[in-house]
Amino acid sequence: MYDVPTQTELQDRDRMWGDVVAGRRSFDPSHFLGFINDLMERDDWQGLFADLPNGPGFIARLADFLARHRGGLIVSDTTRRLYFHPLKRNALDAERLVRLAQQHANELHRLAIAAGDDELRERLANVTAVWTDDKEARPSSNDLDVHAYDVIGDFFLLHEEDQPQWFDCLKEACYGMAADYNLQRYLMADFYSLRFDYGAYCEFWVGGGSYALDDGRCLVMSVERV
């Protein structure tokens, strides 16, 4: 059972987070959705994560992401976006996005091998990233996207078992930055016992790329930047 935060605590998520890290309290992770986004314009946020094991790696990744998206949540003096979106100033060209998508597809193949799923391993073995100008492009009737999502997602979940409660809260906060589990995994890579490299995916996302897995192909397209 989770602790129920008081109204005072709900107004001070820094304190809630500190209590979770110290093991004094156990809050529902959903209370931390949007936690990191609210740190965007602050200069003192690093101290919130300094006591985490392998914290410096997380802080470095998050600092780089926030620096590249400074101001990205602000629409006007009275309006803010709920999530980060790729920015026009970080846009990459099609050739670079295809290279990054290929690197990520190769990493998914490596994870399929590590997960011991022979069918997914074979399906990802010869995937080639290709550019399409059709932003509505979708895979053919095959289910490779779903297959990869399920197998690799479950594999990550195995490596999230027996983690301290702060891990689940931080996972929610990182997912809530852009509603993207791949970015969450990239940012929290140092907290997993599983070794993986989602650096290419982060650069791909920041550069404004999107992809869809098809048998034999990784369809790469650009998204609308803000």
Tens-place pLDDT, residues 23-48: 999 999 999 999 999 998 899 999 99
Q: Where are the domains of the chain?
A: 7-222
Per-residue pLDDT tens digits for 101-149:
999 999 999 999 999 999 999 999 999 999 998 777 776 667 999 999 9
Percent of the chain with pLDDT over 90: 89
pLDDT at 211 over 70: yes
In tens, the pLDDT along 1-15 reads 899 999 999 999 999
For the chain, counts of helices (H) and of strands (E)? 9, 3
Q: What is the pLDDT of residue 154?
A: 98
Each residue's pLDDT tens digit, 75-99 = 888 898 999 999 999 999 999 999 9
Strand residue runs (E) in 58-205:
128-131
Report the pLDDT value the prediction gives residue 141, as an integer from 0 to 100: 63
Closest by alpha carbon to 29, among 170, 162, 160?
170
- Residue 217 predicted with pLDDT over 70: yes
d(CA 159, CA 144) in angstroms, rounded, equals 23
Q: What is the pTM of this model?
A: 0.94
